[in-house]
Amino acid sequence: MHAEDRFDVAFGLYGDLRNNSRVLRQLRVLGDAGLRIRIVAAGTGASGTPEIRGASLCAVPLSGFSGPRFFLELHRRVRKALLETPARLYHASGLYVLPAACSAARRYGGRIVYDARELYTHVSATAGRPWARVFWYMIEHRYIRRADAVLTVGNAIADRLAGTYGIVRPAVLYNIPDRKPPALSPSPLVPGLDPNTVTLLHQGSMMKDRGCAQLVDAMRDIEGAVLVFLGGGPLRPALQKQVAEAGIADRVRFVDSVPSDRLPAYTASADLGITLLQDTCLNHRFALPNKLFQYFMAGLPVIASDLPEIRRVVAPHDAGILIEPGDQAALVAALRRAVAQKPLREQWRRNIPRVFETFNPDSVSERLMHIYGELLR
């Protein structure tokens, strides 16, 4: 097969491309570098997909299975699509598509990049399910060594992967948004809100172990503020019921998800960003959530769980309050303090640029292209 007949990159992923800021950022960096890309996306609709220079989309449909049957179907369908996609390099965005990428790379003699976006053997879904943890360990152990480069989202996960599998320490590419987001008209989260009301924002999926119910409960004791949940997720109906039963519908609002490209305009209209991951698994303990850097890039100080990787970002730069996960009294106290003290919020906001002196978005793009340049030369 001639080189000109192959894509430069076959980029495989599971999930909705439109709402995956990490994937979109990587694809745009690669596309802007002039690479020809084929995106094989399971769980992404063909309509409404953002334009990416040099890229075409293969949307892989999935049935409504769950558990092992779901993974087997996902693997089979993504593998078929990738085996029909000759490429110089196969990018597996997540463990779920790594085996399929390895199969295609073996057929076409391509290189492999594995982006370990989670600590998959220790996600919350495997807690109390040792057989599930062993299954994902076996999959990752078998295939991670075949990758020519491994990427991940933070230092703790990089160290864990290197120690567990005896591989070269993965390259850490933080989930930092572009320094200059596209120009967008401001989009208030709650139109017509009293300008003296402090807007608290929790953006992202409403899922187990993210402190959402704890946050709703805390709002019964907070005046002068409105909490906005921006996004969807399995807990949204239960949270809406909790709000109604507590009689605080005036203090807690729900806003539907918006595409990743539109998100900065909404984020920037809030006053404080909130991320309350609970310390229920190693993946959470080692997490560095997308939303943390999204809040900072939009100029929002944060109230966040005091977990090791989050602390490394927030504490040295004095850009918000850290609280012990699950400590309800500490959460209420932090919210009251942040809402009542506008000068303190302004001080935190002034400190935010210091975050990006340490966590530079330009260096993330440069490191990605350096890795790709080495593999594609």
Predicted confidence band of residue 4 (pLDDT cuts 50, 70, 90) = low
* CATH class assigned to 198-358: alpha beta
**120 near 281, Cβ under 8 Å?**
no
* pLDDT tens readout for residues 83-96: 999 999 999 999 99
Q: Does residue 20 have a pLDDT over 90?
A: no
pTM recorded for the entire structure: 0.91
Beta strands in the chain, from DSSP E residues, in sequence order: 7-14, 37-42, 55-60, 87-93, 111-116, 149-152, 171-172, 198-203, 225-230, 252-255, 272-275, 302-305, 320-323
- Tell me which residue of 332, 295, 292, 294 sits closest to 312, measured CA to CA: 292
Residue 348: CB partners within 8 Å, gap ≥ 6? 301, 318, 319, 320
**Half-sphere exposure for 286 (CA within 13 Å, toward CB):** 23
Predicted confidence band of residue 65 (pLDDT cuts 50, 70, 90) = low
Compute, in degrees rounded to 10, the torsion defined by CA atoms 178, 185, 200, 310: 0
- Tell me which residue of 179, 183, 145, 176 sits closest to 161, measured CA to CA: 145
Exposure letters 118-142 (e unless 16+ CB within 10 A, then b): bbbbbbbebbeeeebbeebbebbee
* pLDDT tens readout for residues 102-114: 999 999 999 999 9
Segment 213-224 shows an average pLDDT of 96
Residues of the chain with CATH 3.40.50.2000: 3-176+360-376, 198-358
Q: What is the DSSP string of 199-234?
A: EEEEES---TTSSHHHHHHHGGG--SEEEEEES--T
Strand ordering across the sheet containing 171-172: 55-60, 37-42, 7-14, 87-93, 111-116, 149-152, 171-172
**251 near 219, Cβ under 8 Å?**
yes
**20 near 117, Cβ under 8 Å?**
no
pLDDT at res. 333 = 97
Among all chains, which residue has been given the structure tokens 């930092």?
176
The length of the chain in residues reads 377
Burial group, residue 66, by CB count within 10 angstroms (0-12, 13-18, 19+): exposed
Q: Does residue 26 have a pLDDT over 60?
A: yes
* pLDDT tens readout for residues 321-347: 999 999 999 999 999 999 999 999 999
Q: How far apart are CA 273 and CA 303, in angstroms?
A: 6
State the DSSP code for 257: -
Q: What is the DSSP string of 35-97?
A: --EEEEEET--STTPPP-TTEEEEEE---S--HHHHHHHHHHHHHHHHHT--EEEEEEESGGG
Find how far residue 40's CA is from the centre of its chain.
19
**285 near 307, Cβ under 8 Å?**
yes
The yes/no answer on whether domain 3-176+360-376 falls in CATH 3.40.50.2000 is yes
**Half-sphere exposure for 160 (CA within 13 Å, toward CB):** 20
Q: Does residue 18 have a pLDDT over 90?
A: no
The DSSP bridge partners found for residue 201 are 228, 273
Segment 69-81 shows an average pLDDT of 92
